[in-house]
Amino acid sequence: LAKTRWLQLEQSCFSEKTLTLSVLTAEFARCVLQTGAPVTARSFLLRGLPMTLALVLITALTAGAELRADSCFSGADLRSRVVCGGLGLWFVWEAVETFRQAQELCWENFSSMAMLGLLPLLLWAGWKLEPSVLVRCAPILCWAAALAGLLGLLGLNGQFHWESLMMQADAQTIILPLYPEYFALPLFCPAKQVRCAVWLPVKAFILAGSFALCTELVFGAGNALPGIELLRAGRLGSISRFDALVLLVWLAAAMFRFCMLVQVVRQLAGRLWGRATPAEENA
């Protein structure tokens, strides 16, 4: 029976790649929307790395416990209902926050309310589409994000001031964000991919650290510019700015993350109320 339940759970899973895309999308938005003087790259790397490794350990222990407790997300008993309800509320909050970030960036950079117009379609897609559809879309968005990141780095080439790394800045508190995906890996990944997914905090740390390093190299330590100014500084030949391209790719990834979170909320609600999702019924 336990094996059958896990087979049904895997049918409604996404993949490690979709999970990575979702978390890195949220982490990139946090970097772009941050204001005030950021931490120095040196402090972030030296003090943030132990915190990240500790988070990896917590994630691995949580995932191992959830894999051993085969009824953790089944909704069959009080404990699993509490877990599903708590994670469901957290995922709802993340979905709302993702949509808010997308609308904010869309309005500030394109003077458009398109995200509000797309909201009903995104809710329908997240509620109706099966996880396999989103899994097939993830590699395309990953390649688009990699290409946009490469163009952004090429646009910043020649603007790096390496002496900025020697400048001293006021010590800042380092806060690593927590995402609900860290604590629900079996909901997103098949059991054989969970071992790779536990390193997700390290991937988010690398993205945030790279953003902090590039910001410091371009603007100097202790600057108070918004994170989005780093995107606007890119130049390559006759193309003076890459922020529009990068933000469009991010908006596509944000819509992907929103749909995925809605689908996860639906799965948790179905287990909470004892209703199977279409993928589980097919299994």
Report the chain (283 residues): mean pLDDT per 10 consecutive residues. 45 78 92 75 84 92 80 70 86 93 88 88 89 87 90 80 66 79 84 86 92 84 77 71 83 93 88 59 46
Residue 75: per-residue pLDDT: 65
Q: Is 130 helix (H, G, I), strand (E, B) or coil?
A: coil
Q: Is 239 helix (H, G, I), strand (E, B) or coil?
A: strand
Residue 225: per-residue pLDDT: 77
Cβ contacts of 44-48, under 8 Å, gap ≥ 24: 44/174, 44/208, 44/209, 44/212, 45/209, 47/174, 48/174, 48/176, 48/205, 48/208, 48/209
Gap between the Cα atoms of 65 and 204, Å rounded: 23
Helices (H), the chain: 2-11, 16-33, 41-68, 78-110, 114-128, 131-156, 185-188, 194-197, 200-219, 228-232, 243-272, 278-282
Residue 86: per-residue pLDDT: 87
- Global pTM reads 0.85
Among candidate residues 9, 1, 130, 16, the one with its CA nearest the CA of residue 67: 9
Task: Give the type of residue at 219.
Answer: F
